[in-house]
Structure 1
Amino acid sequence: MTTIELDQVKLEAFAERMLGIQNDGALALMIGIGLRTGLLDKMAQLPPATSAEIAAATRLRERYVREWLAALVTGGIIEYNPDDRTYALPPEHAAWLTRAASPNNLAAQFIPPLDSVEDGIVAAFRSGGLHHHEYPRSPE
């Protein structure tokens, strides 16, 4: 049996790259959900607002909106003000992410078709639930 010596620097660099790909893939899905639910378009119109205010304005479930907001804050898409617990979509970001941004709207051009489970997630934002069995490719 042959033993393969791994270059630890290359190994760690590739691990970081893979983690970045995974994180960016999840962020792309969140952007697609924001486009399909109207969250991005509505946030572009609203002043800084709480998750409850954004949920009410879009007629979506606050818990899901709050989780979505957290993902987009972490990804640097949406800004969060901890003093008043409000979220804002900077106009410079809205210029690339909303329906009004066409033809620059990258979200509409390539993000929505990325994953087969997105329809179920979008429905969960409206109804409040998605069952584990609806994730056909999730690990068992």
Structure 2
Amino acid sequence: MPYIRVTVTDADLPTATQRTLAEGLTGLAVSALGKARARTIVHIDLVPADRYFVDGKPLTGGLDAHVEVSITLGTSSAAEKAAFIAAADQLLTELLGPLARCGVALHELHPESYGYNGVTQFDYYRRAASAA
């Protein structure tokens, strides 16, 4: 169940662009990481550029974006993660234009320490295996 948080330095990013970004990142979670669409969450944070700092200074003269993805440890290969990072960077650039220093980070969380609806990923996968 990937949780994808995107920070964009455009407090007025149009709703249609936000929707396209969420749909695109969800699609990449499915195609590049092999995740389930229905279990993928995208959270978009829009911040003014003067609240986003690079080298200790507010960003000026352009946009930037940063993507952080929480996934369960051991559920995606190195090649899948590299493909996601490259495709996410391309998607952001296509939707937002040139970015100051776009970053994408994948955080792998242990399945005993990650879950939702009160169920850890460890228990979710164990239940899924026993039901099969």
Please say whether Structure 1 and Structure 2 have the same fold, judged by a TM-score greater than 0.5: no
Q: Flag the structure with higher helix content.
A: 1
Q: Flag the structure with higher strand content.
A: 2
